[in-house]
Amino acid sequence: MNKKDQNIHEKFVEYGCNAKEWMRKCVLLLPEIERRRIWKKKGFGSIYEYAAKLAGMSRWQVEDALRILKKIEDKPFLQQGINSVRPVVTIVTKENEKFWADKAREMSKNTLETYVREIRTSTESDNEVIEILMNLKPELVDKLKKLKGHGGWNELMEEFVEMREKQFEQEKPEKVQTNSRHIPTKIKKHVIKRSRRTCEYPGCCKPYEILHHTRRFALYKEHDPDKIFALCKGHERLFHQGLVEDEHKAPGFWRIREVPDKKDPKFKIDLKVMRFRSAAVG
């Protein structure tokens, strides 16, 4: 990219940024405009027409803004712009709004969505059974039924899972101690195969994006296949924000927490990682 290109690009970014800020201000005025029927007093047929003609807003944008703003109208902490609070509107109450307002300010939209999902599932019961629908070939169904016999499906599936885990255990490469951050190919391949290219956070089905050291490389200088996990971006961010308890244990033990453990030595490293990242995008 030459200097001229860069110049034009920078201008666009600056104007775009201002446009977003002005649009945010427009959006926040909408409930008041609706309440006072200002659009009518000014001779418009509806608030949609008013917002479209004067600010170029679509009908969807207006409806969406009014819906979300209605949910947060009695929650002053959350009035920082609707896009950042959108993921929390289904979970926020008057009692916890300060907590969620802080999280909305600190986290990216994607991370916040993931966090809301985790908080919600952590409050659900652990003892439920889930019905799943699978498309299987008839001959496979027959074989499975025979294998199950008079036992339950849970026992058969547990047996399969155990066998698979054992097989992985046998194929697992040794951990490597090194000063190089680069994860050795053998270990990388193993983790990706184990994850089936899906985030290894329990209950998450998103494709994996990042390989994460649950024992920070900066502290241990090692690549241990048992301590490296394939994660989606949202879950990886939660780890680096110190919001996952018992991170060093197996995924089944991970628990979402509400505030990070600042005494944990990895917290310092995570702060650095977060700072480095925000500098890289900003």
Contacting positions for Zn ion (CB under 5 A): 199, 201, 204, 206, 232, 235
Q: Strands (DSSP E) along the chain, which ranges? A: 176-177, 210-213, 222-223, 228-231, 244-245, 255-256
Given the complex with Zn ion, which of 83 and 198 has the nearer CB atom? 198
Q: Please, which residue, 145 or 255, has the CB nearer to Zn ion?
A: 255
Closest to Zn ion by CB, 84 vs 111, is 111
Name the residue nearer to Zn ion (CB basis): 75 or 240.
240
CA 133 to each of CA 44, 112, 117: distance values in angstroms, whole numbers, following the listed order:
51, 30, 22
Nearest to 167 by CA among 140, 145, 193: 193
Long-range contacts: 148-154, Cβ < 8 Å, 24+? 154/129
| Nearest CB to Zn ion, comparing residues 62 and 232 | 232
Of 75 and 227, the one with the shorter C-beta distance to Zn ion is 227
Shortest separation between residue 143's beta carbon and Zn ion, angstroms: 32
Closest approach of Cβ 173 to Zn ion, in Å?
24
Helix (H, G, I), strand (E, B) or coil at 230: strand
Rounded to a whole number of angstroms, the minimum distance from the CB of residue 224 to Zn ion is 21
Sign of CA dihedral 77, 81, 87, 89: positive
Question: What is the longest distance spanned by two Cα atoms in the chain?
Answer: 76
Closest CA to 157 of 190, 126, 189, 132: 132
> Minimum Å distance from CB 231 to Zn ion?
6
How many whole angstroms separate alpha carbon 64 and alpha carbon 60? Answer: 6
Least CB distance to Zn ion at residue 200 (A): 8
Handedness of CA 142, 148, 149, 154 (dihedral sign): negative
CB 64 within 8 A of CB 47: no
For 84, residues 6+ apart whose C-beta sits below 8 A from its C-beta are 104, 105, 109, 112
The terminus-to-terminus CA distance of the chain in angstroms comes to 19
CB of 261 to Zn ion, least distance (A): 21
Question: Could you tell me the smallest distance in angstroms from the CB atom of residue 204 to Zn ion?
Answer: 3
* Nearest residue (CB) to Zn ion, 34 versus 200: 200
φ, ψ dihedrals at 231, nearest 5°:
-135, 155
Q: Closer CB to Zn ion, residue 235 or residue 240?
A: 235
> Least CB distance from residue 168 to Zn ion, whole Å?
20
